[in-house]
Structure 1
Amino acid sequence: MASIIGSVVGFIVSLLIGALGIYVGARVVTDTDDYGYAVITAIVGSLVWWIVAVLVGWIPLIGGLLALVAWIWVINVRYPGGWGNAIAIGFIAWIAVVVVLYVLAVLGVVTFDALGIPAV
């Protein structure tokens, strides 16, 4: 039972941190101020990333790149401004999550990963 609770808590914390990164990126790039929207984007983005990674992730270099493009595509669909803004949001989200996770990992609060942000 404790394992299930731990997994659920880990999922929620990871999701909220990933959504925070997307929220920060969207706020900086598009001035969008909606954390709930970022949470949905993180969930959809992680699902799309996972599906693409399962289907083509085995292809060296290209598989991971296609999964990343799929994740950026989700951001592009969810936020205004086109591909340039989507790439900027994704990059800022990644940086924000790395910073938050580094601080939390140093404090011993969480492990170094987040749902909704690739390669973190």
Structure 2
Amino acid sequence: MVLGLTLSFVVGLLVGGLAIHVGASLIVGSSSYSKALITAAVAWFAWAVVSLFVGWLPLLGPVVGLLVYVGVINVQYDAGWLKAGAVAFVAWVTSLLALALLRTLSLGVEVVGVPGV
């Protein structure tokens, strides 16, 4: 059970990192995959902390979580809030596509580091 959860987390983090990498490459113009993996891990942790404290509040919890997520991208890529939001959106779409592909291969994983997927 622990091995399965660990494997699912690692695969999810790799997919989340790839999605952020694609978004940052398209919007900001440059990105390394390792930086995207770090961004995904930090974003996952930040989202978890926000969810713990305000996630239960209707509307406010998800909005604060999304702002924190975009803020992590903004800090990591020094892109400004608008570009960071665009990176987040592209990462979200990329994650959905990656999940659809993984599900056709009968791999049920969750994406780590991209909220709402």
TM-score category (smaller protein): over 0.9
Quote the Cα distance in structure 2 between the aligned partners of 1:40 and 1:81.
Answer: 16
Q: Is the 8 A contact 1:30 1:80 kept in 2?
A: no
Task: In structure 1, list runs of 5 or more residues that go unmatched.
Answer: none
Secondary structure (helix, strand or coil) at the match of 1:86 reads helix
Q: What is the aligned counterpart of 2:50 among 49, 52, 55?
A: 52
Please give the per-residue CA displacement for 1:34-59, whole angstroms capped at 9, x wherever unaligned: 00000000000010011011111111
Count residues with an aligned counterpart.
117
Any runs of at least 4 consecutive aligned residues in structure 1 with deviations exceeding 3 A, and if so which?
none
2:18 aligned with 1:20: yes
Give 1:1-120 correspondences, 5 Å limit: 3-111=1-109, 113-120=110-117
Quote the Cα distance in structure 2 between the aligned partners of 1:4 and 1:58.
Answer: 27
Query: Normalising to structure 1: TM-score of the pair?
Result: 0.93
Quote the Cα distance in structure 1 between the aligned partners of 2:33 and 2:71.
Answer: 19
**RMSD between superposed Cα atoms in Å:** 0.9
Partner amino acid, structure 1, of 2:7: V
Partner amino acid, structure 2, of 1:9: L
